[in-house]
Structure formats: C-alpha cells, structure tokens
Chains A and B, each alone.
Chain A
Amino acid sequence: MMKEILFIENLSNEKSSRLDEAIGLASTKGLRLSALFVIPLYSDVSDWVEVHEKQVKEAEARMTAYGEKMASEMEAVEQPFRWRVVQGNADAVMDAISEFMPADIILTGKMDLEALGLPEIHNLEELSSHLHCPVLPVDRLAVDEAPKAKIKWAGFCIFGLLSAASYFIFFPQIDYLNHILLMKGTVLGGIAVMVVVALHAFIYGSFTEYLPRFMGLDRGGHGH
C-alpha cells in the first residue's frame, strides 16, 4: 500500500503551481505528501547574471511564502506535509530529493528538466530510472469533467467537417485556382497563398490536435 508521495515542481511563480492536485490526491487517499519547489536557474548566461540573480531571489521569496501558506492549511486539517524550496542546480536538487526519499511515487507539476541541469536526464522516464522510483506528471491522473468532454467532441466535429471540406471540396479546385490566381506570380496571388495556408493550417491543425487527446496521449508528461 502506498504511503508517501513526493511532489516536485520547477517554477518561479505559485500561480501556475499544480500542488493543489497533489494535495487532493494525498488527502483522499490519506497519504503523506512532501513538496519540493525548484527555482529555475539558467547557468549559461553572462551579462544577464545580475538580472537573473535578482529574479531567482524574488522567486525564492514567493515560493517560500507559498510553501508556508500551504503548510499552515495542511496543518489546519491535520494532514502531514513537508516542503522545501531549492535553487535548481543539479547538486542542490538531488540533495533535496534524497531528503524526501524513499517515496512510493513522485508526481511532477510544471517541470523544465533542461533548466534543472541534471546530467543525462532529459525527460521523466530518465528521471524515474535515475531515482529508482516511478515518476508521473500529476495531470496524468486527472480525469476530464463531463461538460468539457462534450465541448471537445463539438470542436472535433466542427473542425473535422471544415477539414473534410478543405480536402474534398477545395483541394480539387486548386488546379483551376493556380491558373487564375495562385500561381500567376502576382502580389495578390502571393497573399492569397498565405491566407489559404494560414486558414487551412488553423482548421486542420485544430482538428488533429484532438487526436492525441482522444488516444489518451496528451495527458502531460512533457518533461520540458
């Protein structure tokens, strides 16, 4: 039976934190939750260093205040909660993670693995191998609310119909349009090409965007 979740997030602003979801999971299952906030650091800068240092200090202060706020909320409902803020250089991050280990599973919120600078770790699979612990993005566990699912089908159908129109009605006319406008070498023809391309890319791209979601592929897991 699982007892401990470690939640790791790499961000500089609490507004985009996914900690609430990890708390919801831990509360429902009665699990102990630990949270590690990693402030992004970018080491390959030169004159940008002073600006970046200031940004890091501000982010650290914000995330510390956030951690304290969440800790008191968790204490109020008698939920065990540990947390820590750390700057994202590789050694500090690994030391901090080891403090919270062993965990049964690591959940991640917003993660920029490149910014963490962990050697040879570029995605969550590699992080999982390195830590010998399963790593999943927290939104991998999310379920769609019914109203949102309805909207998805409607959008899918609308863009699907428009895409079909583009390929089965517009496409056969292109040869004729080439002769009268699109390949005449005029400025108007050039503009028409760009407009058609932009429109088609939007319509068809909006349609194909749904495909990974329906296959369950686009459920987070983007480690960078």
Chain B
Amino acid sequence: MTWLRADQLVVAIPGQTPCSEHALTIDFKPGEVWGVLGPNGVGKTTLLHTLASLTTPAMGQVMLDDTPLKDLHRTHIAQQVGVMFQAHQDGFPATVFETALLGRFPHLSPWDMESEQDLALAEQALAQLDLTSLVQRSLSTLSGGERQRAALATLLTQQPEIWLVDEPTNHLDLHHQVAVMALLKEQALRQKTVIMSLHDVNLAAQWCSHVLLLYPDRAPIWGRAETLLTQEYLEPLYRQSLAVTEVNQRPVFVPVAQVYKSID
C-alpha cells in the first residue's frame, strides 16, 4: 500500500507570493478518489505536478510512504506515481500503440526489451479504452477525445499506485466521460489512489469520495465529498450562484444567471 501525503504544502504559482496559511496537509489514502476543484488559474494543475515531483513546491513537501519525494529517484517515483497531463505535447509522430507502451518505461532497466507481458499490458489498456481499432494510427491523426484516451492508456499501462489525472474528461463525449470515470473508480476499488482535477462539480459529486476545494482568496478546504459539495462551499469557490437538485441521491449543481454576492 502506497500513501501519498501533502505535508504543509504550498504550491509555487508564478506571479503569486506563497502564503503559509493556505498550506495543505492531506493524506491521500489507497481506495480514495479525490477531486480537486477550483476556478481557472488557482493551481489545480500545478498541485498535480507538485504531487508528482515535476514542480518544486514553494513551501512544505510531498511524502511517498514517509519519504520526501525530493529524496527519491525519479524512476522510483514513476513506478509508484503516474500522471496524465491536460495539454498533450506534440513531440515526434508516434502510433497509439507506442504511446501506450511508454507506460512500461519505469519498470524496465536500460538494456531490457519490452517483454510479451509488457506488450500484453499495453494491448489490454488500449482495449479497455476502446482504442483497439486505432492502435496503428499516428497520434497526430486522432481527435482530441481519442488522444485523451490514448494518454489514459499510457497511465493504465504504467500501473501506478497513485493516479494523478488532470481533467480526465476533457474533450470526451458523454459515453466516454462515464467510461473513463468508471475506469478511475475501478482503480480505487483495487486500492489505488486517484487524484484528479475537475471542472465539472457534478462529476465530482457522482464519482469522488473526497474533494479538495482550492479558493483563489482564502484557505483551501478538503474532506469527504458529501460534506463539502454544497452550495455553501461551492458558490464562493466559483463566485457563482448555483441551484441544486438531486439525481440518484447525488447533488446536481446548475449555475444560475443570478448575480453572486459574496457574504463576506
């Protein structure tokens, strides 16, 4: 079991002075699905990158099983922690299959060739994401949603203990949104930890066990989703009036065209 812990963590956002009162001290435990919510530019992506040790925090540290990330070798981190990025970088042309197979990298030593087992893992991941018919296609010829799924396939092939996923449902049609969220939930059922940034509060309400609300102007709050996903906490988060209803015993929030007035 791998635990990820944010310890007095303040992420470094360019052009902002870090504030120790906004520090995060959170245990991300196996089996939990975390949704990171907040308005644009509040640092959701930076937080995920910091949790993966891709960005240095402004204050505090991230611990993986009681060892600070900065003391761990990058390969060791990559064996435990996987990241899916929001913006996909355009490097050299590559096929969907090659992209999925990249996930095996941290598990192989330099002289190793990918084994039959590695290839099988990549194939399974692609099948799970409905990409089997596209395996030989070049990544650059895919639609946004297909690329998003190919990136998730890489993560699935990597088989990390901690899943850091930036906007997993970006570009996805409704069916694939549900499929992807179900896939992430399934990882949590297998005692992995899933931490994802989300724009859609309703996805968080439906799929997340815990949420972290990042406010632009005050200290963040975190906890169980059913406690925090209320108008009381969400309206100041987005500075937006919300109406709430219920579907399948889960809250559904709808923005309403009414001027939001801050209470404070």
A and B: partners?
A: no
Binding site for A on B (CB under 8 A): none
